[in-house]
Structure 1
């Protein structure tokens, strides 16, 4: 073995996706379509032809950009499925340049998440509720090394 070998690995040695047979992908689940992490909105299968496999056609919406993607492949072949996590953090502050300060479960703060540019109503309502001194929990979705605010709610004591 050479002293110069190098292996790339992701966070903690884990992958950002895992394989699943295309025939097992479900509506409202997640799948990588054209290289983008998407929520599956439609899943159809056609029977096998004379010389081929049954095919799955999957349509989904990118969870970060909202763009629609479509992909098809044999139901017996593997597709990449992104690991998608949802978190809720308490909102501490909103900076002038639209970055949030969030309180993590371990007591530390997170300050690298920006308000979404593509959802002006959510941003306007969140700012108004924060300015009126409400305690707010922000819901964040994360996949493929990206994060986005998807919603928020008021903490009711």
Structure 2
């Protein structure tokens, strides 16, 4: 069985958005759906002698901290997280015009990130024009996780 914390697909989105797992198989750094949002697990603690797991995670798309509690034998949903590298072709009305690095196929529904990541990406693109972004896809959503020079 593969490590639940590192289920990745490369390329485009998956038809399956989540898969079932036992709460006892969760690990820090892995993924879990908490409050209907895909999250990276940042902490797992046990209470009352190991009967309840408290799982804290960071929402992959908003950065919000979310917490859920589960029994070790509970079935939980783990998001399928896809990752793709795309060349930035342009920035238009707050969205990135992208071409997948492996296939060249276009993608134009990924928003320019908010905050420092988005500000730096825009500035570096205007300066050099040759950037590659890493886009995370999970549960029907996409967001830029990082970028680098081409």
Structure 1 length-normalised TM = 0.80
Q: Report Cα offsets for 1:65-103 as digits up to 9, x if no partner.
A: 1111111111011110000111110111112x1221111
Paired residues in the alignment total 137
Aligned to 2:27: 26
Aligned to 2:71: 74
Aligned to 2:87: 90
CA RMSD in angstroms comes to 1.8
**2:112 equivalent to 1:115:** yes
Mapping for residues 93-104 of structure 1, pairs under 5 Å: 93-95=90-92, 97-104=93-100
Cα distance in 2 between the residues matched to 1:29 and 1:153:
24
Structure 2, unaligned stretches of length 5 or more? Answer: 1-12
**2:41 equivalent to 1:40:** yes
Q: Report Cα offsets for 1:38-88 as digits up to 9, x if no partner.
A: 11110012455xxxx821110111111111111111101111000011111
State the SS of the aligned residue for 2:73. coil
Structure 2 length-normalised TM = 0.83
**2:141 equivalent to 1:146:** yes
Distance 1:42 1:154, change over 3 A: same
Structure number with larger C-alpha Rg: 1
State the SS of the aligned residue for 2:76. strand
**2:59 equivalent to 1:58:** no
Cα distance in 1 between the residues matched to 2:88 and 2:145:
14
Aligned to 2:7: none
**Aligned-pair distance for 1:37?**
0.9
Comparing both chains, which one has the higher relative contact order based on Cα–Cα distances under 8 Å and sequence gaps of 6 or more? 2
Structure 1, unaligned stretches of length 5 or more? Answer: 1-10
